Amino acid sequence: MAADSSFKILIVDESPIRAAILEEGLREAGFTAVSHVSEMRSLLARIYAIDPDVILIDLENPSRDVLEQMFQVSRVVRRPIAMFVDQSDSASIQASVDAGVSAYVVDGLRKERIKPVLDLCISRFNAFARLQDELDRTRSALEERKVIDRAKGILMKLKQLTEEEAYVLMRSTAMREKKKIADIAQSIVTAAEVLK
């Protein structure tokens, strides 16, 4: 998905001159819903209030503290974030990637680079979000599998059932109660822990 001209874009930049360059580049690229925050205090609250689709952070010579604050923002705010810095080191780049910054652009902010960087930022963010969803689903399925196995073990021991019979019992109960097998299994495990 490429950057859409109706996107709300937030520029975070303490320098009004650099912010104006960014804003001009965005307007020339067809983006009209552009906001600017120049004050770093209570930045998260302001981001939530604006609720942008994309965040562009422009830092001239970022100190460790400023970078850390920006990385905290990127961890908390689930949005594509492009960070422009004039100079950097490999540790800062690694930290930005770890923090979820979608595009980390070193050395210069030129108007003609803004649109391609935005597109890259959004596509990377979407790819990462898809991977994260997949990972979350896999973790959830694994947790459910563990709970189902524990519940089968409890039923096998308690009712002298085979593994297959225990599973069939849970499945039929789930169907009758219109619930997921994992929910039935969790109830069995919880009940067994209470009755210990």
- 95: Cβ contacts below 8 Å, ≥ 6 apart: 67, 71
Read off the pLDDT of residues 61-77 as tens digits, 9 standing for 90 and up. Answer: 666 676 777 777 777 77
Degrees, nearest 5: CA angle 138-178-176 = 125
The helix/strand/coil state of 34 is strand
For the entire predicted model, the pTM comes to 0.60
Buried b (16+ CB within 10 A) or exposed e, 14-24: eeeebbebbbe
The residue-averaged pLDDT of 112-119 equals 75
Read off the pLDDT of residues 172-185 as tens digits, 9 standing for 90 and up. Answer: 999 999 999 999 99
Read off the pLDDT of residues 5-45 as tens digits, 9 standing for 90 and up. Answer: 678 999 888 888 888 888 888 888 888 889 888 877 778 88
pLDDT tier at 110 (50, 70, 90 boundaries)? low
DSSP string covering 89-158, please? -HHHHHHHHHHT-SEEEES---HHHHHHHHHHHHHHHHHHHHHHHHHHHHHHHHHHHHHHHHHHHHHHHH
- 37: Cβ contacts below 8 Å, ≥ 6 apart: 10, 11, 12, 13, 43, 46, 47, 50
Structural domains for the chain? 9-134 (3.40.50.2300), 137-194 (1.10.10.10)
2/146 Cα distance (integer angstroms): 40
Find tokens 């930022």 and name the residue.
121
